Amino acid sequence: MIVDDKLRTPGAVRDAERWTAHNYHPLPVVISSAEGAWLTDVDGRRYLDCLAGYSALNFGHRHPQLIAAAHAQLDRLTLTSRAFIHDQFADFCRELAELCGKDLVLPMNTGAEAVETGIKVARKWGYQVKGVAAGQANIVVAEGNFHGRTTTIVSFSTDEDARADFGPYTPGFTVVPYGDLDALTAAIDENTVAVLLEPIQGEQGVVVPPEGYLPGVRQVCTERNVLFIADEIQSGLGRTGATFACDHEGVVPDMYLLGKALGGGIVPVSAVAANADVLGVLKPGQHGSTFGGNPLACAVAIEVVRLLATGEFQRRSAELGERLRAGLEGLVGKGLVGVRVRGLWAGLDIDPALMSGREACERLAARGVLAKDTHGSTIRLAPPLVITEEEIDLAVTQLAEVLAG
Ligand SMILES: Cc1ncc(COP(=O)(O)O)c(C=O)c1O
């Protein structure tokens, strides 16, 4: 048996706290290796990953096809900058554009950069194509949104933790209640260039809007000549049992914002996909990134797109998601007061009288399951899409035990 003072975890947690800004409150688990849906910590303990890097690891840890692509690319070429063209670039952009059913792709790195890109493109489109008066462009966004952490993005956050004391804020955004089509329609005026929404609000606790909302948004955007920007950074690329969460309601936005899983859990890769009449407004010198669309990122992301093009991961997510749903719904009234499931993505509301989400995640970790609270007593499950039926059952069983006290 390992005695406590020989464990490496406490010292590693202490060092991490000592040497970094405290902008996160991680569970006290120190991971050193991973494979598929499983993580191993510095003391050799194994955990089932039920967060998957907030959906950045949809294909599991170290998927062989993705790792092979990364290794091969590392041996040839890693970075050129966009000053030159490299041999992975066109294939990535074409294959991703085809997956999205769009003309063009603009690659960036992080999700927040894709959102910033979407905002800039929409504003420019508004002035140059729609004819909005200079400096008047407005974008309608939703309460409870999470689109990232830049100063512009937190300017329209409704989460005070994310927003407070980071002003002065970027103007040009109108916040309306999520899921309320009348409110959204009323907020649109002649200066509105875009509606920016998550088709499912992940950070808010996997909040699924009422049926008909997304098609309604699509229709009003078309009627009023406003771009519909879908932030599919967390919801997209197989997570919900379809390639995009918008697919569940047959909705095609004008712009997809993608990130997280696009990098295969290996490198940060994000992108905006849209048609030429929208993305074509950008000209040389007006937007860019040193690392955006680099050879390593493109080589990995090409394989990500190819994995998605098989449909296997979307299918797994849809089928296994039903098993997850059945298991979790069985816990409503037994410690859970609400459950929302779309594919392998679940928001769970724990009875606040029992424990906080944080407490639940700490207890789950002690039982070998890693998940993350979103706020209050809500936790999110987003396991890698390579998870098996038995592993889903294991997660549900451990959760049941935690809720039973
Ligand atoms: C819907 C959504 N948009 C944007 C982001 C920001 O992505 P990143 O953290 O890569 O900047 C996130 C991250 O959680 C997200 O969930």
Map out the domains of the chain with their CATH numbers: 9-62+312-404 (3.90.1150.10), 77-310 (3.40.640.10)
Among 141, 159, 260, 342, residue to substitute to test ligand 1 (most atoms within 8 Å of Cβ): 260
How far is the C-alpha of 244 from the C-alpha of 233, rounded, in Å?
Answer: 10
How far is the C-alpha of 205 from the C-alpha of 381, rounded, in Å?
Answer: 9
Closest CA to 397 of 140, 48, 145: 48
Cβ of 147 below 6 Å from ligand 1: yes
Cβ of 264 below 6 Å from ligand 1: no
Q: How far is the CA of 290 from the centre of ligand 1 (A)?
A: 20
In this structure, the residue with its CA closest to atom 2 of ligand 1 is 147
Q: How far is the CA of 99 from the centre of ligand 1 (A)?
A: 21
State residue 54 phi and psi, 5-degree precision.
55, 40
Cβ of 203 below 6 Å from ligand 1: yes
Average pLDDT over residues 318-344: 98
State the average pLDDT for the chain: 97
Cβ of 209 below 6 Å from ligand 1: no
In this structure, the residue with its CA closest to atom 3 of ligand 1 is 147
- Helix 64-74 to helix 295-309 angle (10° resolution) is 160
Average pLDDT over residues 29-52: 98
Q: Which amino acid is at 247?
A: D
In this structure, the residue with its CA closest to atom 13 of ligand 1 is 148
Predicted pLDDT at 4? 63
Cβ of 207 below 6 Å from ligand 1: no
Name the percent of the chain lying above pLDDT 90.
98
Hey, which residues are catalytic here? Answer: 146, 231, 260
Is the separation of the CB atoms in 226 and 188 below 8 Å?
A: yes
Closest CA to 318 of 392, 387, 240: 240
Q: Is 387 left (phi over 0), alpha (psi -120 to 50) or beta?
A: beta
Question: 């690319």: which residue's tokens?
Answer: 73
How far is the C-alpha of 130 from the C-alpha of 373, rounded, in Å?
Answer: 42
Is the separation of the CB atoms in 264 and 63 below 8 Å?
A: yes
Among 116, 147, 196, 203, residue to substitute to test ligand 1 (most atoms within 8 Å of Cβ): 147
Q: Is the pLDDT of residue 299 over 70?
A: yes
Closest CA to 264 of 68, 108, 59: 59
Q: Which of ligand 1's atoms lies nearest the C-alpha of 54?
A: 14
Q: How far is the CA of 172 from the centre of ligand 1 (A)?
A: 20
Q: How far is the CA of 127 from the centre of ligand 1 (A)?
A: 27
How far is the C-alpha of 270 from the C-alpha of 62, rounded, in Å?
Answer: 19
Predicted pLDDT at 1? 43
Is the separation of the CB atoms in 115 and 128 below 8 Å?
A: no
Name the percent of the chain lying above pLDDT 70.
99
Cβ of 52 below 6 Å from ligand 1: no
Would you tell me how many other CB atoms lie within 10 Å of the CB of residue 205?
Answer: 22
Q: How far is CA 240 from the centre of its chain?
A: 11
Would you tell me how many other CB atoms lie within 10 Å of the CB of residue 349?
Answer: 17
- Which H/E stretch holds residue 263? none
Average pLDDT over residues 285-312: 98
Predicted pLDDT at 30? 98
Q: Token pair of 332, please?
A: 């409503």
Alpha-carbon dihedral sign for residues 263, 269, 274, 276: negative
| pLDDT tens-digit readout, 116-168 | 999 999 999 999 999 999 999 999 999 999 999 999 999 999 999 999 999 99
Q: Is the pLDDT of residue 2 over 60?
A: no
How far is the C-alpha of 206 from the C-alpha of 81, rounded, in Å?
Answer: 36
Predicted pLDDT at 11? 97
**405 pLDDT band (50/70/90 cuts)?**
confident
Q: Token pair of 378, please?
A: 């809500």
Cβ of 198 below 6 Å from ligand 1: yes
Q: In what order do the strands lie in the sheet with 270-274?
A: 104-108, 270-274, 255-258, 227-231, 192-197, 138-142, 173-176
Average pLDDT over residues 32-55: 98
Average pLDDT over residues 180-189: 98
Q: How far is CA 362 from the centre of its chain?
A: 23
Predicted pLDDT at 50? 98
Q: How far is the CA of 239 from the centre of ligand 1 (A)?
A: 14
In this structure, the residue with its CA closest to atom 4 of ligand 1 is 147
Closest CA to 184 of 212, 164, 150: 212
